[in-house]
């Protein structure tokens, strides 16, 4: 309930398109208690969502109703939104309209002062979501992994003390044994920032050769003949090969490019240039007062490039395909125009008009939190609809028809199919954050299902740092002449992000845990996020870190939703120094102050690498990404070096250091096994507990349970698995990744260090939705499956045809290129081999090499890294 619109001043008819679900309802013809959104005398031009070019002039409200409406307005300040055209900055303090002051007496809008309001300490907050989860939780018989570690640390420490005493007079015991269980904070172990140790200036072509002559510099530190005493890491700055913007694609792709460019020219609407006025301040964007207040409260002073370009176009109701580097404010870029448009919604009937899709629950929670914060001076209602939270609570919330639903695709489809009276028929704006992610894996079909359920006339906006502009992909989303707003190249990384690479030789794969421990104890001691490919590896290192005395939280899909949110909060609030995460945390998460991202193992593709390292150096801050690069990671390394803005660095952790940590970790082996055993035991108990409560439930509520209609899903398990495979193949093709490339056996072996970890089951590798569905159907699988199939086929027949058929998946045929085989760690890092004559180290060099036969396998690699120690290696 709010105040009726009143306008008494000029209003730019091109500036805002309002949302409407019924053209017959003029914006100002709302009930008396509609809110006062627009400036006095303003004329609103509305654009139909399906026809942005069509204008409709709204009636001008009669002045004088304001006092009447004001009485009805909620006492809350946020119920008095008013669209204003703020005066020029210079006049703001003196030239305020009395009406403005009347409406918001306590709000002074000053581009420097007002916008400098201290925003929330973090743009997101999980308190309410956590509380909701806790409410529905039952007590379980389990202790946290931290408790298990702590108990054992105390035990092992006692054992170590006893050992020390016994050996007090002895001289034979290796010194390393004495720090058996230290806390990793020995002064001698904490090296200074290595960057200055050996790092040389950016190398020109000549200096590359000089470096190439000293090949031992590129040894990976695995020599056995290290000098006495612990050494600092070596960090060598190597040549960078930043591509010019007009040199972005490989030469091989040229014919493809021409076809794609032609398609793009036809498909995308021309993107207007960013207006200078809008890039300067949010106030120039003619946003309404409540939105400006929300922006100010977030502490945003000036729009970022993507915001400056997106907001005016989004306000016009146009479809957008947007991309900008990680941490550049894309979330606010799509939320602000949505909120602005929602302020003008007809309010006679509550309607869900905006749907924001995100790929992960955490991103959903974060996006919801940012949206709620930005809208806190309005009456816009939100519903968070992600997995891991109570379906029932969401059903209740959805029944109230919130203005905005923020959802993960799986949970949303669940509601569409199984929550009575919920549908997407009234959605006018569809936003997909991390849209390229949604187009891959198992999401593609889910997305198709969602799109099928939304009206064609909707406005659609897609965003990602690695957004695809491949027309064939976008066609599936049935966009309407989208505007392509690519502020940065999709391969770009943040400006102040320094990239380091550590080579992990094939025969040293098992040293990864020790290298990681050395990095985290000696160099990157806090505000560091470590990415793992597998949940098992993340969990294993959580235990190892705990035993080493490092404060770490883990974040992956094997945890409960509450544990996941708590891990993020602990890391955000600096209660722990390290977040050990899988790719679950690689996209979109915005945690202030992350200094370092470590890739324990490289992600499967370059896009994922961009997102992972994009967790640092956000919003103009600096950061560092350190990646452990194995033999199988050449492609990603190559892309990373090629797209680096500045030099990349090659870090060498001395073998002596690695061996020291290997010994230390080796000593925990039994303790780690004990912890796994205890976890296993607890898991069994929890399972038994669950079974009991399930049985009790069935006994008590049998009739009700049986009368409930079975929850349905839109595809069979088989279909979903196939979709995932196709998505992956397509994504690999996009990024030039050889889908056939086997996962290095050695790496696999290295990640299987936790031999007591749960083995693969029939549920492994399935999405949460699949798992849940599968588990839920366990009891009477056949019966329910049959019911579901029947229900599905009946519903399918009743449904309209899909808006766009999914095109045949492209079969990826690896290009016969010798280029890839040439690339070893050294050549990807831009370092020439020893015998390369200086003058031949030019840009033409790789082209010549391209024609060489494919024979640069292991032999080349060993040669390239030749060092004095090569004779000693086993």
Ligand X SMILES: Nc1ncnc2c1ncn2[C@@H]1O[C@H](COP(=O)(O)OP(=O)(O)OP(=O)(O)O)[C@@H](O)[C@H]1O
Measure the CA–CA gap between 373 and 78, rounded to whole angstroms. 12
3-class state of residue 140 by DSSP? coil
Residue number, 346 or 614, with CB nearest to ligand X: 614
Of 859, 104, 196, the residue nearest 523 (C-alpha): 196
Residue number, 455 or 619, with CB nearest to ligand X: 619
Dihedral sign from CA coordinates of 676, 677, 683, 686: negative
Measure the CA–CA gap between 350 and 399, rounded to whole angstroms. 10
Minimum CB–partner distance for residue 694 and ligand X (Å): 39
Residue number, 8 or 362, with CB nearest to ligand X: 362
Of 458, 461, 431, the residue nearest 358 (C-alpha): 431
In the block, tokens 């720090």 appear at 179
Residue number, 388 or 588, with CB nearest to ligand X: 588
Q: Classify residue 627 as exposed, middle or buried by CB count within 10 Å of its CB (0-12, 13-18, 19+).
A: buried
* Cα maximum dimension of the chain: 96
Minimum CB–partner distance for residue 437 and ligand X (Å): 11
Measure the CA–CA gap between 113 and 296, rounded to whole angstroms. 9
Residues at the site binding ligand X, with contacts judged by CB under 6 A:
123, 300, 302-304, 307, 324, 326-332, 465, 588, 590, 614, 618-619
Minimum CB–partner distance for residue 322 and ligand X (Å): 10
Q: DSSP label at 628?
A: E
Whether 625 contacts 477, CB under 8 Å: no
Whether 17 contacts 347, CB under 8 Å: no
Q: How many CA within 13 A on the CB side of residue 577? A: 14
* Two tokens, residue 710: 């079975």
CB-closest chain residue to ligand X: 329
Residue number, 236 or 467, with CB nearest to ligand X: 467
Minimum CB–partner distance for residue 114 and ligand X (Å): 14
Residue number, 326 or 478, with CB nearest to ligand X: 326
3-class state of residue 766 by DSSP? coil
Whether 620 contacts 495, CB under 8 Å: yes
Measure the CA–CA gap between 697 and 90, rounded to whole angstroms. 68
Minimum CB–partner distance for residue 678 and ligand X (Å): 37
Whether 461 contacts 333, CB under 8 Å: no
Minimum CB–partner distance for residue 619 and ligand X (Å): 4
Minimum CB–partner distance for residue 596 and ligand X (Å): 16
Residue number, 550 or 617, with CB nearest to ligand X: 617
Minimum CB–partner distance for residue 464 and ligand X (Å): 7
Residue 612: in which H helix or E strand, if any?
helix 606-613
In the block, tokens 């016009």 appear at 316
Residue 154 φ/ψ region, left for φ over 0, alpha for ψ in the -120 to 50 degree band, beta for the rest: alpha
Residue number, 184 or 290, with CB nearest to ligand X: 290
Minimum CB–partner distance for residue 574 and ligand X (Å): 16
Minimum CB–partner distance for residue 329 and ligand X (Å): 3
Of 353, 365, 354, the residue nearest 408 (C-alpha): 365
Residue number, 268 or 300, with CB nearest to ligand X: 300
In the block, tokens 């743009």 appear at 123
Residue number, 13 or 120, with CB nearest to ligand X: 120
Residue number, 235 or 295, with CB nearest to ligand X: 295
Neighbours of 577 (CB within 10 A): 17
Measure the CA–CA gap between 461 and 429, rounded to whole angstroms. 8
Minimum CB–partner distance for residue 328 and ligand X (Å): 4
């Amino acid at each position: 309930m709010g105040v009726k619109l009143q306008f008494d001043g000029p209003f730019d008819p091109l500036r805002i398109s309002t949302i409407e679900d019924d053209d017959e309802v003029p914006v100002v013809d709302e009930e008396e208690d509609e809110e006062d959104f627009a400036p006095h005398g303003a004329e609103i031009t509305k654009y139909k969502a399906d026809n942005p070019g069509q204008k409709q002039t709204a009636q001008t409200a009669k002045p004088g109703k304001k006092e009447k409406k004001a009485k009805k307005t909620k006492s809350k300040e946020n119920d008095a939104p008013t669209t204003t055209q703020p005066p020029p900055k210079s006049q703001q303090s003196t030239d305020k309209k009395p009406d403005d002051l009347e409406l918001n007496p306590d709000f002074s809008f000053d581009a420097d002062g007002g916008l400098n309001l201290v925003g929330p300490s973090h743009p997101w907050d999980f308190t309410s979501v956590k509380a909701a989860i806790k409410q529905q939780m039952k007590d379980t018989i389990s202790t946290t992994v931290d408790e298990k570690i702590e108990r054992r640390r105390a035990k092992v420490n006692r054992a170590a003390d006893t050992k020390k005493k016994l050996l007090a007079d002895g001289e034979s015991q290796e010194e390393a044994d004495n720090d058996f269980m230290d806390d990793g904070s020995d002064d001698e172990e904490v090296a200074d920032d290595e960057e200055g140790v050996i790092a040389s200036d950016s190398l020109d072509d000549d200096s590359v050769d000089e470096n190439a002559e000293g090949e031992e510099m590129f040894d990976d530190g695995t020599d056995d003949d290290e000098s006495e005493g612990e050494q600092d890491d070596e960090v060598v700055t190597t040549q960078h090969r930043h591509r010019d913007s007009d040199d972005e694609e490989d030469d091989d792709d040229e014919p493809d490019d021409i076809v794609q460019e032609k398609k793009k020219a036809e498909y995308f609407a021309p993107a207007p240039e960013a207006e200078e006025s809008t890039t300067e301040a949010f106030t120039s964007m003619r946003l309404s007062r409540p939105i400006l207040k929300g922006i100010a409260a977030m502490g945003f002073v000036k729009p970022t490039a993507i915001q400056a370009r997106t907001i005016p176009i989004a306000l016009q109701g146009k479809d957008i395909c947007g991309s900008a580097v990680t941490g550049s404010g894309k979330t606010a870029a799509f939320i602000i125009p949505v909120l602005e448009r929602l302020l003008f919604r007809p309010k006679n009937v509550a309607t869900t008009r905006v749907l924001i899709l995100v790929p992960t629950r955490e991103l959903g929670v974060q996006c919801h939190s940012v949206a709620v914060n930005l809208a806190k001076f309005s009456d816009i209602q939100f519903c968070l609809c992600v997995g891991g939270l109570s379906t029932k609570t969401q059903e209740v919330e959805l029944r109230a028809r919130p203005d905005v639903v923020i959802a993960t695709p799986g949970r949303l489809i669940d509601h569409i199919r199984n929550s009575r009276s919920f549908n997407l028929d009234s959605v006018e704006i569809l936003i997909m954050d991390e849209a390229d992610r949604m187009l891959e894996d198992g999401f593609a079909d889910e997305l198709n299902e969602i799109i099928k359920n939304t009206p064609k006339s909707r406005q659609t906006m897609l965003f990602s740092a690695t957004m695809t502009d491949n027309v064939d992909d976008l066609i599936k989303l049935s966009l309407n002449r989208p505007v392509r707003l690519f502020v940065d190249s999709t391969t770009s990384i943040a400006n102040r992000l320094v990239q380091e690479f550590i080579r992990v030789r094939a025969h040293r794969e098992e040293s990864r845990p020790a290298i990681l421990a050395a990095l985290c104890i000696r160099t990157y001691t806090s505000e560091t996020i470590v990415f793992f490919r597998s949940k098992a590896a993340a969990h294993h290192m959580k235990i190892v870190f705990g035993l080493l005395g490092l404060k770490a939280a883990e974040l992956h899909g094997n945890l409960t939703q509450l544990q996941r949110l708590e891990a993020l909060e602990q890391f955000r609030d600096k209660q722990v120094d390290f977040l050990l995460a899988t790719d679950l945390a690689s996209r979109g998460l915005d945690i202030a102050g992350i200094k370092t991202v470590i890739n324990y193992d490289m992600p499967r593709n370059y896009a994922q690498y961009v997102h992972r390292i994009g967790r640092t150096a956000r919003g103009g801050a600096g950061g560092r990404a350190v990646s452990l690069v194995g033999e199988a990671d050449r492609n990603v390394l190559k892309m990373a070096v090629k797209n680096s803005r500045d030099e990349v660095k090659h870090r060498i952790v001395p073998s002596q250091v690695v061996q020291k940590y290997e010994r230390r970790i080796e000593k925990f082996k039994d303790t780690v096994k004990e912890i796994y055993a205890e976890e296993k035991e607890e898991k069994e108990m929890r399972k038994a507990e669950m079974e009991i409560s399930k049985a009790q439930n069935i006994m008590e509520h049998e009739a009700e349970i049986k009368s409930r209609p079975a929850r349905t899903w839109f595809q069979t398990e088989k279909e979903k698995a196939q979709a995932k495979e196709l998505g992956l193949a397509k994504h690999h093709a996009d990024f030039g990744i050889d889908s056939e490339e086997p996962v290095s056996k050695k790496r696999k072996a290295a990640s299987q260090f936790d031999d007591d970890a749960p083995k693969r089951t029939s549920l492994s590798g399935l999405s949460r939705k699949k798992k849940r569905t599968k588990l839920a159907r366990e009891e009477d699988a056949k019966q329910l499956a049959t019911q579901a199939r029947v229900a599905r086929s009946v519903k399918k027949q009743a449904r309209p045809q899909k808006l766009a058929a999914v095109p045949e998946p492209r079969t990826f045929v690896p290009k016969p290129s010798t280029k890839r085989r040439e690339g070893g760690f050294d050549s990807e890092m831009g370092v020439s081999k020893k015998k390369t004559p200086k003058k031949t180290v030019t840009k033409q060099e790789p082209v010549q090499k391209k024609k060489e036969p494919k024979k640069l396998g292991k032999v080349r690699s060993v040669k390239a890294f030749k060092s004095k120690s090569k004779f000693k290696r086993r």
